[in-house]
């Protein structure tokens, strides 16, 4: 990262719900709208449910949800969502934590935003006493799969992610902390 660029990772509050809603919507769209497997109606249906202001406010208020926002030069660049005590079949852990979302704006891909968010998630999870971080990553997202593998995650199973009317397959991955 260039010396003149400042990257920070912060925990948002409910006052940041609009910013987080916009960031969530935009980064999800950018990540998945181009893929021919995703029907526009299914994508639209899912995004309207998952990334509306009321839903984001509710998630911010949920005690088991932890959000982190990355800012590059004081502009929102990406975010992560962790879910404490989330479990899925195939995850082997005593105190698991789920990396539910990790997205950055397309313009910041390759600029360290995702890695800084990932590192902040690892640090936070360890400080909270979690022994394993796990996630689901779409089977048709090889870039994300490589990123997670580079960060020590390994595939341990599969589960279904419902995108509108389309049941999609996510690879379950976990990493010991």
CA 112 to chain centre: 15
Instruction: Using pLDDT thresholds of 50, 70 and 90, give the confidence band for residue 5.
Output: low
Cα 163 versus chain centre, distance? 16
Q: Which fold has domain 7-176?
A: Aminopeptidase (3.40.630)
Confidence category of residue 3, pLDDT binned at 50, 70, 90? very low
pTM above 0.85, yes or no: yes
Among 64-73, 108-117, 122-131, top mean pLDDT goes to 122-131
Q: Cα–Cα distance between 10 and 81 in angstroms, integer?
A: 12
What is the model's pLDDT at position 144?
95
Q: Give domain limits for the chain.
A: 7-176
DSSP of 109-169, one letter per residue?
TTTTHHHHHHHHHHHHHHHTT-SEEEEEEETT-HHHHHHHHHTT-EEEEEEEEEETTEEEE
> What mean pLDDT is predicted for residues 146-152?
98
């Amino acid at each position: 990262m260039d010396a003149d660029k400042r990257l920070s990772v912060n925990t948002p509050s409910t006052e940041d719900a609009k910013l987080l809603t916009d960031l969530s919507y935009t980064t999800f769209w950018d990540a998945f709208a181009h893929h021919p497997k995703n029907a526009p109606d299914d994508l639209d249906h899912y995004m309207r449910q998952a990334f509306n202001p009321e839903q984001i406010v509710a998630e911010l208020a949920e005690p088991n949800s932890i959000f982190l926002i990355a800012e590059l030069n004081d502009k929102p660049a990406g975010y992560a969502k962790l879910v404490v005590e989330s479990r899925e079949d195939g995850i082997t852990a005593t105190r698991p934590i789920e990396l539910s979302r990790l997205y950055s704006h397309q313009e910041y891909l390759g600029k360290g935003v995702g890695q800084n968010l990932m590192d902040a998630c690892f640090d936070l999870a360890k400080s909270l006493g979690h022994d394993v971080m796990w996630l689901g990553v779409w089977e048709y997202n090889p870039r994300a799969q490589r990123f997670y593998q580079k960060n020590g995650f390994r595939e341990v199973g599969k589960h279904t992610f419902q995108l509108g009317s389309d049941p999609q397959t996510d690879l379950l991955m976990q990493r010991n902390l």
